């Protein structure tokens, strides 16, 4: 069968022919991949800036945003049967007994850093025809979501951030309710974040590089959210122009914007950072002003990565809700579908919003 792999030592990315996996353990599931989404992480791995093959291997099979169909199940598998659609969780637990998060089934909060991630770090991914996975890491998706369910994995970044923001809002002596939300960035995560906030009843604004008459801005407005372009409004004047917000979701990974984002919060507001800036990135900031603002206004800034099962279930529920509220806008997030053999070339460019690899079709 086919697999698309990255060879870090020789700096090559190409299709391989590898043997089909065979079902072994009682809780294992054989999956046929339907679709795999590509993102900035895949581009970074394909340019050899990031990513590790499984230990002892010279290559890493790429792909972490999966949608697959169950082909065969082990004898102890419950709740999954052939024909079901599933999304696989990306991060897997570290082996250490002292890691409280992994032992509690939440490797997305791993304390040791020795977790693996399928298609990213120490474990092969999903850009292949078939994979084996354990039922513990598979989340069932309703058939009605088949054409958009490849968006579940990126949406879990948003739902995990939302679940944490919820926990933080619990500290308040009043019910903050849905009020004003700001999304920084209009890539797939930013746009899914905007959909989430709109669906939750927030007055939502998206701030990004695209101009105000771009397709992206049009898509944002089609949700009922506002759009402000950073080309016309620098972040320093955004609060004056658009007011401040109870929740800010950052999905850009540009360090100066990330550092400035807390200024966009109202008192008691929460900022979730999801972007990953380059290691050496710097930003200018008046520390005294920024720290006084955090303390004197009870603001919370937190970083969030990956997601647990609960966040996956929440993502699936929200995607169903989005498909009722604004189905055409959701479909427009997938701007390009391609066969597996076009991936090496596609990884060197970025077209539209979400690029998806079609591996097999419904039987």
The site for Zn ion (CB under 5 A) is made up of 39, 41, 65, 94, 99, 102, 110, 112
Please check whether residue 325 is in contact with residue 199, taking contact to mean a CB–CB distance below 8 angstroms: yes
187 or 269, CB closer to Zn ion?
187
What is the closest distance, in whole angstroms, from the C-beta atom of residue 115 to Zn ion in the complex? 5
Q: Which is closer to Zn ion, CB of 102 or CB of 141?
A: 102
Structural contact between residues 267 and 185, judged by C-beta atoms closer than 8 angstroms: no
Q: Which is nearer to Zn ion, 45 or 340 (CB)?
A: 45
- Are 63 and 131 in contact by the 8 Å Cβ rule? The answer is no
Task: For residue 194, give every residue at least 6 positions away whose Cβ sits within 8 Å of its Cβ, in sequence order, or none.
Answer: 183, 186, 204, 206, 220, 223, 225
Closest separation in Å from C-beta 95 to Zn ion: 8
Closest CB to Zn ion among residues 54, 176 = 54
CB burial string 313-351: b at 16+ within 10 A, e below: ebbbebbeebbeebeebbebbbeeeeebeebbebbeeee
Q: How far is the CB of 114 from Zn ion (least distance, A)?
A: 6
Helix-, strand-, coil-residue percentages of the chain, each rounded to 5: 35, 30, 40
What does the alpha-carbon distance between residue 54 and residue 52 come to, in Å, rounded to a whole number?
A: 7
Q: Which is nearer to Zn ion, 120 or 217 (CB)?
A: 120
Number of residues written out for the chain: 363
Q: Which is nearer to Zn ion, 106 or 180 (CB)?
A: 106
In the complex, least distance from residue 87 CB atom to Zn ion, rounded to whole angstroms: 12
The nearest distance, CB 303 to Zn ion, in angstroms, is: 17
| CA atoms of 134 and 31, how far apart (whole Å) | 10
For residue 326, the minimal CB distance to Zn ion (Å) is 22
The C-alpha atoms of residue 131 and residue 31 are separated, in whole angstroms, by 5
């Amino acid at each position: 069968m086919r697999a698309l792999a990255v060879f870090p030592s020789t700096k090559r990315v190409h299709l391989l022919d590898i043997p089909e996996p065979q079902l072994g353990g009682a809780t294992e599931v054989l999956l046929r991949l339907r679709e795999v989404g590509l993102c900035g992480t895949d581009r970074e791995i394909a340019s050899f800036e990031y990513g590790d093959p499984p230990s002892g291997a010279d290559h890493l099979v790429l792909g972490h945003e999966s949608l697959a169909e169950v082909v065969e199940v082990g004898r102890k598998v419950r709740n999954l049967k052939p024909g079901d659609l599933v999304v696989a969780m990306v991060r897997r637990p570290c082996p250490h007994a002292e890691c409280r998060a992994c032992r509690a089934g939440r490797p997305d909060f791993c304390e040791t850093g020795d977790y693996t991630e399928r298609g990213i770090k120490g474990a092969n991914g999903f850009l292949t025809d078939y994979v084996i996975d354990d039922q513990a890491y598979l989340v069932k998706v309703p058939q009605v979501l088949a054409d958009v369910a490849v968006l579940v994995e990126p949406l879990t970044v948003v739902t995990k951030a939302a679940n944490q923001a919820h926990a933080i809002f619990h500290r308040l002596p009043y019910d903050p309710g849905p009020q004003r939300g700001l999304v920084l960035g209009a890539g797939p995560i930013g746009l899914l974040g905007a959909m989430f906030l709109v669906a939750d009843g927030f007055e939502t604004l998206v701030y990004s590089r695209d101009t105000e008459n771009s397709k992206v801005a049009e898509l944002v407005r089609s949700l009922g959210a506002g759009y402000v372009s950073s080309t016309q409004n620098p972040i320093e004047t955004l609060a004056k122009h658009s007011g401040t917000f109870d929740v800010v979701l950052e999905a850009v990974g540009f360090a100066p914007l990330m550092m400035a984002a807390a200024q966009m919060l109202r008192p008691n507001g929460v900022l979730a950072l999801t972007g990953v800036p380059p290691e050496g990135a710097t930003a200018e900031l008046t520390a005294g002003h920024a720290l006084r603002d955090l303390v004197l206004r009870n603001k919370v800034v937190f970083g969030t990565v990956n997601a647990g099962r609960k966040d996956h279930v929440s993502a699936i529920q929200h995607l169903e809700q989005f498909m009722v509220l604004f189905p055409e806008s959701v479909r427009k997030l997938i701007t390009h579908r391609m066969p597996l053999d076009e991936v090496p070339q596609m990884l060197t460019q970025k077209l539209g919003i979400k690029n998806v690899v079609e591996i097999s079709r419904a039987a």
